[in-house]
Structure 1
Amino acid sequence: MTERLVTLSDVCVRFDGPPVVDHINLTLNRGDIVTIIGPNGAGKTTLIKSVLGIQRITSGTIWRNPQARIGYVPQHLQLQPTLPLSVRRFLMLTGESADTCRQALAQTGVEHLFDASVHHLSGGEKQRVLLARALARSPDLLVLDEPAQGVDINGQAALYDLIRALRDRLNCGVIMISHDLHLVMAATDRVICLNQHVCCSGYPADISTDPAFIETFGQTVAESLAVYHHHHNHRHDLHGDVVESQPAEGCSHHGVH
């Protein structure tokens, strides 16, 4: 039986001018990966902050499963550079034990950074540490705001592969924002194109031919998102470098190019 995690019904968020988020209806179930795309200023971050309950909505309703634990990876995390802070201490600020935090790092492939300084991490390492911080709570729902921010192109692909693997392993729901259209189309189950309101939504294979998508992103972008089947026999490390070969049949996933 499908387990609902969050339902938004006719949700609007308004500040001083026109609605930032306008009449949004959305249901996220356990096991879903839903990606929100849209131009700058479309209301994407406002929408997921509403899902989290840290942004008050102007009208409509939001239902959250009262038993569901939520893990959140924000788009930006400002840390005082003069404050000595190890990854261990940073993760334990969640209130979880050192063992739990170490296990969360292992799930994201960076257990070796447990005693490293957070100020010396690469972009890919930092995003995996932030993801581990969210995983330390054993979430039923992962909320990710631009999870590949500051990561190079190959590192982004590896990170989105990791998110899918975590969804499968934890049987959690995932809702994320991304500008990485080509990569995220391969990593998501459902795409929502937002521009204050929902312009269009659907499966990745279908969304690029939707007239509303073409109007928002342009014909050139839409044509570049033709569906392909991507087969590869390697994986990438945190920096996007190829580090290991695997049998050719070992990995196959759908994507766009």
Structure 2
Amino acid sequence: MTALITSKKLTIHRPGTSEPVLHDIDFSISPGEIVTVVGPNGSGKSSLIRALLGHMPLVSGMISRRKELRIGYVPQQVQLDRTIPMTVRRFLSLPHWVGAETIADALARTGVAGLEARQLTELSGGQFQRVLLARALLHDPQLLVLDEPTQGLDQPGMVGFYRLIEDVRNQTGAAVLMVSHDLLVVMRSSDRVICLNGHICCEGTPQDVGNAPEYRALFGAEARGTLALYRHHHDHDHDHDHGPQHDCAEHG
């Protein structure tokens, strides 16, 4: 299957400097795949996302995207002016009008049906993340991009959100590209993991990456037990037209 986004020898610098933040990145994501990018702080995870979305200039290399690729994006942080009242319905209708039925369907799909009239400032952290995900789903994306979407959630909230991502992928067939610092839950949801530290240290299945010496050297004791908690055995194909077909077992 043709990749949705591909990069070859991608190199980018930190803004306003000649210091490379990432170099020689070869990357691709295929329809229906869940790819998670991990790495220590400052390793270039969010920079990779911004570059792939066209929001950072390239020093060298190239990026290609499928023609008319529809992308839904959940950013790492959303700054809200709490002095301005705004309902969930209004938030999901910006900057372009969206029909009530479409909004209701997106909220139901992300597990927060009926929140249309609620003020954004009244939502819990978990509810707000699901509203952001609903917003990203409004226009039937082929690729969902999530930059540390569980930041600020407790561990049960993280696990619930990652399960939701899997459900969305299964229902829609959309690929998912996700940046995460939550090592204890990230492995459960991923078809492929990429470990960054300015370059790609290692990549592969969750089990391959979890056993890689480069991964263990970066995360040390934090990496121990990750796979034991959330190991995801894969025995499925990703069908672009009908979504992924699963026969998966999880062990905890």
Question: Which TM-score applies when normalising by structure 1?
Answer: 0.87
Partners in 2 of 1:110 and 1:168 — Cα distance? 18
| Gap change, CA 1:230 and 1:163, over 3 Å in 2 | same
1:38 counterpart = 2:39: yes
What residue in structure 2 maps to residue 238 of structure 1? Answer: none
> Is the contact made by 1:94 and 1:133 (CA closer than 8 Å) also made in structure 2?
no
Equivalent in the alignment of 2:237? none
Render the CA deviation track for 1:44-77: whole Å, top value 9, x for unaligned: 1110011111122221100011132000000000
Q: Which position in structure 2 is the counterpart of 1:7?
A: 6
**8 A contact 2:6–2:29 mirrored in 1:** yes
- 8 Å CA contact 1:37, 1:178 repeated in 2: yes
> 3-state SS of the aligned residue for 2:82?
coil
* Match for residue 119 of structure 2 among 117, 120, 123: 117
Structure 2 counterpart of 1:145: 147
User: What is residue 202 of structure 1 aligned with on the other side?
Assistant: 204
User: Structure 2 regions of 5+ residues with no counterpart?
Assistant: 233-246
Give aligned-pair identity as a percent.
Answer: 44
Contact 2:183-2:223 within 8 A present in 1 as well: no
Report Cα offsets for 1:136-170 as digits up to 9, x if no partner.
01100000001111211101101000101111111
Which residue is 1:239 aligned to?
none
Offset, 1:227: 3.6
RMSD: 1.8
Counterpart in the other structure of 1:74: 75
Distance 1:7 1:106 in 2: 32
Runs of 4+ in 1 over 3 A off after TM superposition: 226-231
TM-score for the superposition, normalised by structure 2: 0.88
The DSSP-based 3-state class of the residue aligned with 2:24 is strand
1:254 aligned residue: 250
What does residue 127 of structure 1 align with?
129
Q: Secondary structure at the match of 1:128?
A: helix
- Aligned length in residues: 235
Report the alpha carbon displacement of residue 18 of structure 1 after superposing the two structures with TM. Answer: 2.4
| CA–CA distance in structure 2, aligned partners of residues 65 and 223 of structure 1 | 38
Unaligned runs of 5+ in 1: 232-250
